[in-house]
Amino acid sequence: MVRLIDPSLKKLSFALSEMGTLDIKIMSLATESFVVGTNTSSEALKISDMISKKYFEVGNLTFEILLKYQPVAQDFRFTRSSIEISYDFLRFGRYAYDITLIRDSFGDLRRCVRTHLNDSFVLVERMVKDAILSFATLNLDKARHIQEQEAMVDIIYRERMLSLINSKDTKCAMAEALVLRYLERIADHALFMSDSVNYIITGEHRGRPPIRKV
Amino acid sequence: MTYTDRQQKRAEIRAMFKSNVRRRLWVDKIVVGTVIVCALMAIIPLIWILGTAVYSGVPALNWEFLTGKPGAVGAGQISIGPAIQGTVIIIALTSLIGLPIGIMGGIYLSEYGGNSRFAKQIRFFMDVFMQVPSIVLGIFAFLAIVLTLGYYTVWAGAIALSFIMFPIVARSTEEALRMVPWTYREAGAALGLSKMVITLRIVLSQAKKGILTGVLLSISRVGGETAPLIMTILGSNIFFSGFDSSTDALPLRIWRLSLQPYDEARIAGWGAALTLVIIIFAIHLGVRYFFLRDKSGKGLRGVLRG
Amino acid sequence: MSTVMTDRSATITTIDKPQTRYKMRTENINIYYGKTHAVQDLTLAFPEKSVTALIGPSGCGKTTYLRCLNRMHDMTPDAKVEGRVLLDGADLYDKRIDPIYHRRKVGMVFQKPNPFPTMSIYDNVVAGVKLNGVRNKDILDEIVEDCLNMAYLWEEVKDILKKPAMELSGGQQQRLCIARALAIQPEVLLMDEPASALDPIATQKIEETIEELKKDYCIIIVTHNMQQAVRCSDYTGFMYLGKLVEHGKTKQVFERPVDKLTAKYVQGQFG
């Protein structure tokens, strides 16, 4: 049975999936700027702008749905989470652009890319993909998996920070610290997203993990 | 069905409409005309009767005619004083017996009896009662009361007439009570009122109009009955002289006068008939004014309208 | 509006305390209409000073159930009620007690406004009190003002109290009926779709009234309008085919219903 609310919900899902596609693209641009060494900042800026436009579009849509149809139960949870998820998407784009900016101002940093940084890039990019997928398919297992991945990113971040304090290569150390910081934020938002997915499905918030000291 | 298909279909249906509109307008006019003519035909006899009564009866009306005793025919003035008095008495006594029984019976049927066997039987007997020829009721009262007591009495007449009255009142009360929406009884019950209070204070007040109509109808019926009176109050030439002697009544007097071959009797008969009509009309107006004036708030005009 | 909001949150927090006191409860209620088993084995409790909404598709038995809470089924010959309805622990269906005693404690407002048409506004409000034997004019005056105030109607009718009740608008009539129900000083108020025949503004006024009355009464409201249930109830029961499918805090029932059927119904996928 098609309900009055359904077309609007469809439109909302579509806008969110577009955001997801853009985020995957901008994430790979960020990775590329370090691993391959190309300066992608101008392209990333364009995509980041598109994402923020979409963010406002989703905002308008959610309020229209809330006011027009007064959704309840899963419809309500989906609509409500859309606001949070679109914000996560917005942050993904923003941090990815920030990463490309480091490449832009520091120059080619390929020599600084060591295993840890490489691993982090791969891991976070996969997390973002997983988060988007878990939302697109409303898959609870994928959402749960993200929690473990996030913990790993955290560990890398903390260990690398300690070792970077004593690094002689200031340029690389600074760049790596900044990038790791951004990646850690992205991973955090992926976690928030998985939590939203969990809320859409079960109706309950998992509760945010405690704030960790750096 | 595609959009154009639908458009086409609609156009076809609209085309079907147009062709018979003219004819339907004509049929409509004919039906309305017939209905109006029928309504007029129902009213004409009524106006005719009233007109004749007024036309023929007014010459007879004067103070002496209305208040005096009837003298011997041919010896001058014929008067209907005792007949008027008798009619008023008999209507009052009949109402005294018939109305409480009728209204209570109606309340029982509507509020308490429901569809029980007993209620159904009562309803059946009431309907039968309404069909019984009034002369039969007169004979019954004659056998049961006049012969037992050994004298004609106004009570016998009142009882015979109350048999006509209470089925009408009971059934119309029942109908009027049933017309009151159930929700008001529920509202009353939800206020913690007893059934008797709900019936008497809430339901009955809403059914007032319907009940009054039934009551007035029965009074008119009773006021005009002749047959049951012949054998119960007999008729008399003197004013009311007690419950153990015969009494006069307008229908009886009219009947008697109509049997006489004299012109002055004929005129007096019309006068009596007009008086009866006026009495009944006065009762209607009086009762309606008394019971309905508060609600309508429009004085006599509201009462007349209904 | 803001005061209403704070009031509500304050009430919710008090309800959230574990020692919720139940004003009324029903145990294993079965209602039969002739051969139809209209309500099946329904057990439910209504906390004090709160609003419980009963929702469900047409014909699910919610009105039938509501009417058993003040023995309204006694009025219909072929209805039969089994089970217990406890008001402060006393059984309403105790054979030795006349339903009148309980009906005075359980007020009811019906779906369609039904003020007594032959009475004035004033007489309508005090109908229950007056016909139950209270004659003191001062007390009656006081009741009229008090109850009309509680029903948010006083300001609109204070100058026309002697006018026939039928001259009021539909929404005013319904609020008059609420005042009439309150006049008998009930402890529980049953409302059978009180706003279904009203326009949005009248509906809003009725809902404000409910919000206000909640402070003193246990209110049970049957409604078709789910948004209304969300707006003015603390607890919600979802009924389907004569059974209670889900019951809980309104927020929970509407945000994350436990039962699939409830979720489908509240999301408008059937019903």
Q: In what order do the strands lie in the sheet with C79-87?
A: C36-47, C22-33, C79-87, C90-91
- The C-alpha atoms of residue A111 and residue A162 are separated, in whole angstroms, by 20
The answer to whether B115 and B131 are in contact (CB under 8 A) is no
CA distance A150 to chain C (A): 27
Rounded to whole angstroms, the Cα distance separating B11 from B13 reads 5
Instruction: Identify all chain C residues contacting B192, using CB atoms and an 8 Å cutoff.
Output: 100-101, 103-104, 128, 132, 184
**Is C227 in Cβ contact with A3 (below 8 Å)?**
no
Residues paired with C44 in a beta bridge: C26
Q: List the strands of the sheet with C235-240, edge to edge.
A: C106-109, C188-192, C218-222, C51-55, C235-240, C243-249
pLDDT at C74: 86
Specify the pLDDT at position C6.
Answer: 38
Judge whether residue B19 has pLDDT over 90.
no
Sequence-distant (≥ 6) Cβ neighbours of residue A211 within 8 angstroms = none
CA C92/CA C86 separation, integer angstroms: 6
Tokens of B222: 């009773």
pLDDT band, very low/low/confident/very high, at B280 (cuts 50, 70, 90): very high
Contacts of C254 in chain A (CB under 8 A): 72-73, 76
Joined together, the tokens standing for residue C48 give: 């004090």
Identify residues of C whose CB sits under 8 angstroms from chain A CBs.
226-227, 230, 254-257, 262-263, 266-270
**What does the pLDDT look like over C184-225, one tens digit per residue?**
999 999 999 998 878 888 888 889 889 988 998 999 999 988
Joined tokens for residue A195 = 């939590």
Structural tokens at position A24:
């995957």
Question: What percentage of chain A has pLDDT greater than the value 90?
Answer: 61
Average pLDDT of the segment spanning C129-151: 92
CATH assignment of A6-202, among 1.20.58.220, 2.60.130.10, 3.40.50.1980, 2.60.40.1930: 1.20.58.220
- Rounded CA gap, C212 and C150, in Å? 7
Measured CA to CA, the distance from residue A49 to residue A40 in angstroms comes to 14
Q: Is C20 helix (H, G, I), strand (E, B) or coil?
A: coil
C-alpha A13: how far from chain center: 17
**C touches A, CB cut-off 8 Å, minimum 3 pairs:** yes
What is the pLDDT averaged over residues B131-159? 92
**What ranges do the domains of chain A cover?**
6-202
Cα B187 to Cα C180: distance, rounded to the nearest angstrom:
9
Residue whose tokens read 């391959």: A36
Task: Check residue C166 and report its DSSP letter.
Answer: G
- Within 8 A of C227 by CB-CB distance, chain A residues are 70
Nearest CA in chain C to A77: C255
pLDDT value of residue B300:
52
Token pair listed for C258: 């436990």
Q: Are B231 and B139 in contact (CB under 8 A)?
A: yes
CB within 8 Å: A5 and C263: no
C-alpha distance across the termini of chain C, in Å: 32
pTM for the predicted model, two decimal places: 0.78
**Average pLDDT, stretch A47-62?**
96
CB A132 within 8 A of CB A24: yes
Q: Are C132 and C195 in contact (CB under 8 A)?
A: no
Closest-CA residue of C relative to A80 is: C255
Element (H, E) at C90: strand C90-91
Amino acid at A133: L
pLDDT exceeds cutoff 60 at A210: no
Q: Report pLDDT for B301.
A: 54
Confidence category of residue C271, pLDDT binned at 50, 70, 90 = low
The chain-wide mean pLDDT, for chain C, equals: 87
Give pLDDT tens digits for C226-249.
889 999 999 999 999 999 999 999
pLDDT of residue A187: 94
Asked whether residue B69 carries a pLDDT value surpassing 90, the answer given is no
Residue B185: pLDDT band by 50, 70, 90 thresholds? very high
What pLDDT score was predicted for residue A147? Answer: 86
Look up residue C78 and give its amino acid.
Answer: D
The residue ranges of every structural domain in chain B are 3-60, 63-305
Q: What is the pLDDT of residues C69-128, one digit of tens each?
A: 989 988 888 899 999 999 988 888 888 888 888 888 999 999 999 999 999 999 999 999
Contacts of A129 (CB under 8 A, 6+ apart): A24, A27
Do B86 and B248 meet the contact criterion of CB atoms below 8 Å apart? yes
Structure tokens given for B224? 């005009």
What amino acid occupies position C170?
Answer: G
For B192, the closest of C100, C116, C118 (CB atoms) is C100
Q: Residues C28-57: pLDDT tens digits?
A: 999 999 889 999 999 999 999 999 999 999
d(CA B158, CA B246): 13
- Of chain A, the end-to-end C-alpha distance in Å amounts to 52
Kindly state which CATH superfamily the domain B63-305 is placed in: MetI-like (1.10.3720.10)
Helices and strands: H and E segment counts in chain A: 6, 0
Q: Are B93 and B155 in contact (CB under 8 A)?
A: yes
Token pair for C53: 């909404």
Q: Are C219 and C144 in contact (CB under 8 A)?
A: no
User: Is the alpha carbon torsion for C24, C27, C33, C34 positive or negative?
Assistant: negative
Report how far Cα C202 is from the mean position of its chain's Cα atoms.
17
Side chain identity, residue C76: T
Give, for C222, the enclosing helix (H) or strand (E): strand C218-222
- Does the beta-carbon distance from C114 to B114 stay under 8 Å? no
Q: Which residue of B has its CA nearest to C163?
A: B295
Q: Worst-scoring range by mean pLDDT, B153-162, B206-215, B283-292?
A: B283-292
The contacts of residue C38 (CB under 8 Å, 6+ apart) are C31, C32, C61, C64, C242
3-state SS assignment for residue C110 = coil
Contact C128 B191 (CB under 8 A): yes
Report d(CA A172, CA A106) in Å as an integer.
Answer: 9
Q: Over the stretch B91-115, which tens digit does the pLDDT of each residue have? A: 999 999 999 999 999 999 999 988 8
Residue C54 host element (H or E) = strand C51-55
pLDDT of residue C2: 36
Give me the pLDDT at residue C108, please. 94
Substitution target in B110, B183, B184, B191 with the highest count of C β-carbons within 10 Å is B191
By mean pLDDT, which of A10-19, A163-172, B207-216, C186-195 is the weakest? Answer: A163-172
Per-residue model confidence as pLDDT tens digits over A32-44: 998 888 899 999 9
Shortest Cα distance, chain B CAs vs residue C271, angstroms: 26
Burial B115-146 (b: 16+ CB within 10 A, else e): eeeebeebbeebeebeeeebeebbbbbbeebb
CB contact under 8 A, C269 and A76: no
The full set of domain ranges for chain C reads 115-185
What is the identity of the amino acid at B292? L
Cβ neighbours of C262 in A, within 8 Å: 73
Phi, psi of C241 (to 5 degrees): 50, 45
ipTM of model: 0.85
